[in-house]
Structure 1
């Protein structure tokens, strides 16, 4: 009889994490033009700054920077092997910032600290809270994020009673220095949008017109692109035996789809300054059609005269158009079944040229 090897990594379970534990994740990733093109193919992203070297150079860059969400996924994906290989679901994000741009040819890596642990009362799982920081090849910080994920327990039914839950800021403080070149002579024929910072007001709601149906091939390839090897996204045989009955779509892909849909109405909001909070309210599966609407929560002045910031709330819906959708919560205060994403984030947008 063959000797069973102990070299296989089966991932960490809830009991394997400790408060203050630090993890340097493997697999640094050098970003290529192929990654950028494939991301567009999978999400339909249309923001012009991330599409055109010429436009990027006109805005003061040497070449086009990566879409902030593509960089997020490629960097975040490093943590899955150590944090969420045995996840039930990724639950939410907070305090996500994008301090420096990333370009094709850069190499990104990720480090994580465990900042919270909460055992679920069912004894089968727990929630792991992490703080992850991404760096480029020059050790410049390119991503800073906190998230929480529900993870299976190895020893189901054994209770430790741990309940350490961190608190999170509702919004990210706006820094005096924003790492964006001085913006001038914005060509709206090229960006595709005529609206600038001054054209938006708090309380405004944009019902985005387009919907995107996501196939199994779309979300599977996207998750592979990010080297996110969580079982719930790949192992159809395993997932058929769960209450879901099928693979769960990576929530980050839903964020990217919602962001792509939001282009219509927010064409000049080309930079994500921060993700203040995000909730994956309900699961998304292959065949679902995603629609979205965005509410302008706040308009934020900045000391720079060329730009301002908009705090936005984008809500993604499955199989329901936004113009016929009124409120995200039901009479019990829970998210309605159509809501798959509730994202509070801040974008940078140019002001009108003087």
Structure 2
């Protein structure tokens, strides 16, 4: 290699154009926020949400203008697409964080061991004291019975659709599952209520469990169906080639391979029905006392307790605080279920060898 060629290799490339420093997005974001506040104050806009939306628009357009001037329009379009994703993410996260912060701030006022281990009993809604033990017990029993009914039916339906379903029957089942996915919860409650009126039955906890199971089944079917479809056909074919019957292949190969996703889907379905209020209001009716028998008499639940306490909060600070504390408990319950689902999915995920 000649001396000139060696010098040319060591010289910096001229193909690399000018680029913005790494801290430029933060500087543009800070400038957009300051400018949005100035515009908001000058225009008489008092809402911080409006300031945030203005700042987001200024950030996107400012990034495009500065990047186009320094790096070119092609790189500017790429940065704008990335920034739009970040702005959409922030717009989605901010309300959730605000809701969680408000619930924690207002719910911790009366949330203690006494509140979790006592019922309302003879405490009036306008009086301080009382607790949510009866509501927690009712929710656990109603959701547990709904899971015991809805999860096996949903899983078996999904196995039929993926492994056996062919022809008009499978198409009909798929169609009705899609319809059930979109029905309002009040419709499921009205269906069970019509059966109760037909047999002259009084409100009881198991009736709410039946309505919740109806809402749970399509979610379980859809999630389990997708998990079963992810199992490679080679595993099924290998098992069948060894002479293993199809039912045993499903039981020993297909289901264990997808068990993590199936359990995750069931957990998410439980979290979905745990906050339902309308069917419980129609069928369970509520009870300020502890009723551990879901097959006889009215029963409480956390969503129904929140609704009843908040409806009485107009003239009572105690009922208002109890409603927020129960809301925080329900959010914690759903959050724990989601964390358990993620843990099971990670634990049961297929291990890839090196």
TM-score range, shorter chain: under 0.3
TM-score after normalising by structure 2: 0.24
Larger radius of gyration between Structure 1 and Structure 2:
2
- The structure that is strand-richer by fraction is 1
Q: Which has the larger helix fraction? A: 2
TM-score normalised per structure 1 = 0.24
